[in-house]
Structure 1
């Protein structure tokens, strides 16, 4: 599912109006109708006060048109026009006249107004600002937003929380609506998925307002939101006439004294995702525990007992995952650097492999092309440097991935995979996955998919999706709090089965 910028959405509106030969207010009416039907299907005429706060642009016009539909269905409404400018969009004015024709008289709010009373039992429709916001709200409008946020009422935002720009950080974090729910038109907004801006809505959902399908398909974007429908075509079914060699031999390199479990989880995940064979390369101290805990895997050991001093793989594997639990001892750093110079296939690099790279930047030039790096936030910061905000982080990550021709995974609530100047935003996962070993499991899953013959980018996108989905299934069984990394592994098979179930209507997750 494509994520459009504000300018691309305006282009889509214009293209649709011209191609379908409709007036611009027809799109506004479609939006209002979709909003009304969503609300009405849930309230069913319930006796509740709905307070609509409408700006004087097109977002406000959506709210004004919605008010007309609500009134015609006999809902108790109060309409407030937030009069923040002398300029008004023509479609806002048109719908304002339609509202007045029905003897509905809005209250106009200005910089000297008394803040409207809001009951915690009211429903607020926030239609003050839309995606066109290009400067900080006036101070008095900011105070109105603070008043709404403090009301404890349910807040439904139209398209995007007011005060939140769609393509940059907000000017004042206190002057952004904190929405209980966002009904966004046609496509999601990138700000829904970033840690610093995703906090402004608990949930979001898309409403189809009939933007032209041809434009939506052909328009190139910088980011895509990877849903079930987007991921399904990546999957390659297993063949009837096949054997374990058909699905590749993966090697998991890592571990140290007291950290063999990281390798065990990665190797287990690698086999659980479908790799035909898995071998682990660990210090001598890990031999017995791995042979006991994971009998399906083979074990190679370093000459040293407690740490890796030299990486020797006596065969050519199909994929290698490296770094988890490996440590950054000087001998290990030297072994890793030597290994990078000798290896001739893309790697999946995690944990201490990433830490060694950040401590020894010259080694970045030795990474095989199309390798996959899977840092958590602090590992990412050590790799690409500090960032001012989430948008700066994305720019730095995109530049880093392009410079080194690698796939870069930014792990988080909505993990984003970068390659070739484009970001792929994941739609699965939950807070229960913020637990020890979760990243090791992801590394193993991606390594297994690469071993099976998937190219680096599709292996990563599919691996990230299935990792999150397995976590969602696991959390549904034991709760967020009790989910462990091994619980993610246990549900990889169920994630595969879930991938091809008919999905429920798409609802987005808030932060």
Structure 2
């Protein structure tokens, strides 16, 4: 699913009005009716007090359409205009006149804290104060209004985005943002729903189809894309009847040190479980018996050092190499990696201490094969790209790093984001149970195993992140968050594959028709 920028949504609005020979006011009417229908389907006429707070821009105009529809259908509605500026949009004014024609209870004008209405915990708030066009901090009395919303503990529904959140930069003050229980986003989700600093302002979100021109939606390229089942199914490579293990490549997993051999066990098992034909583990001598016992399906190569990897030399020809898990950063290990990178031409997936070594000796980054996949957690990412001011700065620096070194960055987190060149791919699978030791090692193995089977580096990263998270989602159905461990994810990778074709995924779009 594409994640459109605010500029693209504005462009889509204008093109839709032109192509369909309708006015912007009529397009606003349709959008407002879609929001009303969402509420109407769920409330079924319940007389819970509904407080609709409207700004004086187009988001406020949407709110006035919603309020008018609620009033017309007999709901217990109170409408307010948050009078935060002298400027009003044309479509706001049109809908302000329409609501005055609909009811004798004209909207209350709010201009200071003494105007704030009483809101109870069992009431409903509809937030239509600011939309995606907000570009400056909100006034202090409006901040107080948003704090008033939060203190009431009433269910809060935001139209398009929670008011006070920017779509393309960080916020200045959390008190100047509405904390929404649910957000109905126009036409596509917003990137802010998936970033740690801004996702918290909306507990849940859903996309509402507001009728933007389909040709525009299909033809427009976006910087960000949301990755769900519909997006990864076309990537899947089915197996041929007469295939053999040689057709699915040979994954080599290099890593481990004394006391950290388990990381290689997890990555190696994951590579084979995701479909690699052969897997060999390259570890210090202390890991030999552990690997042979814990992973009988795999092969093992050791170097001469008992505790750490002091050289990287092997006589096999792997299809892909996953490197760095549990490896440590001993002086001899750093030297061994540098020597290896100077001659290696095999595709790489790098994680953990492999990344930490690259961070300490950034000249080594230029030795990576083109489109190597790097899978940092937040601290490893910071060591690679430097500190960032906010999530938007982080993504921009990650993008520039990807372009500079022609690598694929997998930024691990609640919504893992894969970065390559000028694009962000935002994953939708995974859960808090994955915040446990070893899950990153499993992901390294998964991506390595997919590359081994002939997936392109970018598809291996995107598909691997999806399957890794989906396996964890399946596992917690029986285990819960707290009891999930990395091995469980490996054990449910097969079910994650099966789930791809269990049933078509329904898009997160509300298709309600305008109510007569």
Count of residue correspondences? 508
What is the SS of the residue equivalent to 1:463?
Answer: helix
Superposed CA offset, 1:378-406 (max 9, x none): 00000111111111111110000100001
Aligned ranges 1:15-26 → 2 under 5 Å: 15-26=15-26
- Residue 90 of structure 1 corresponds to which residue in structure 2? 90
- Residue 397 of structure 2 corresponds to which residue in structure 1? 396
- Residue 514 of structure 2 corresponds to which residue in structure 1? none
- Cα deviation for residue 187 of structure 1 reads 0.8
Aligned ranges 1:324-473 → 2 under 5 Å: 324-473=325-474
- Residue 106 of structure 2 corresponds to which residue in structure 1? 105
In 2, are the aligned partners of 1:205 and 1:506 still within 8 Å (CA)? no
- Cα deviation for residue 505 of structure 1 reads 4.1
Question: How many angstroms apart in 1 are the aligned matches of 2:355 and 2:39?
Answer: 48
In 2, are the aligned partners of 1:277 and 1:297 still within 8 Å (CA)? yes
Question: How many angstroms apart in 2 are the aligned matches of 1:193 and 1:486?
Answer: 27
Question: How many angstroms apart in 2 are the aligned matches of 1:261 and 1:242?
Answer: 31
In 1, are the aligned partners of 2:113 and 2:145 still within 8 Å (CA)? no
Question: How many angstroms apart in 1 are the aligned matches of 2:333 and 2:287?
Answer: 16
Distance 1:36 1:504, change over 3 A: farther
In 2, are the aligned partners of 1:203 and 1:507 still within 8 Å (CA)? no
- Cα deviation for residue 226 of structure 1 reads 1.0
- Residue 285 of structure 1 corresponds to which residue in structure 2? 286
What's the TM-score once normalised by structure 2's chain length?
0.97
- Residue 248 of structure 2 corresponds to which residue in structure 1? 247
Superposed CA offset, 1:364-421 (max 9, x none): 1111111000000000000111111111111110000100001111111111111122
Distance 1:153 1:503, change over 3 A: farther
What's the TM-score once normalised by structure 1's chain length?
0.98
Question: How many angstroms apart in 2 are the aligned matches of 1:240 and 1:58?
Answer: 58
- Residue 310 of structure 2 corresponds to which residue in structure 1? 309
- Residue 46 of structure 1 corresponds to which residue in structure 2? 46
Structure 1 vs Structure 2 CA RMSD: 1.2
Alignment gaps of 5+ in structure 1: none
- Residue 500 of structure 2 corresponds to which residue in structure 1? 499
- Cα deviation for residue 87 of structure 1 reads 1.2
What is the SS of the residue equivalent to 1:197?
Answer: helix
* 1:225 correspondence with 2:226: yes
Question: How many angstroms apart in 2 are the aligned matches of 1:67 and 1:502?
Answer: 38
Alignment gaps of 5+ in structure 2: 510-516
* 1:143 correspondence with 2:140: no
Distance 1:501 1:96, change over 3 A: farther
- Residue 296 of structure 1 corresponds to which residue in structure 2? 297
Distance 1:49 1:112, change over 3 A: closer
- Cα deviation for residue 165 of structure 1 reads 0.8
- Residue 11 of structure 2 corresponds to which residue in structure 1? 11
- Cα deviation for residue 112 of structure 1 reads 5.6
- Cα deviation for residue 151 of structure 1 reads 1.0
Question: How many angstroms apart in 2 are the aligned matches of 1:390 and 1:473?
Answer: 29
- Residue 121 of structure 2 corresponds to which residue in structure 1? 120
In 1, are the aligned partners of 2:113 and 2:144 still within 8 Å (CA)? no
In 2, are the aligned partners of 1:250 and 1:448 still within 8 Å (CA)? yes
- Residue 185 of structure 2 corresponds to which residue in structure 1? 184
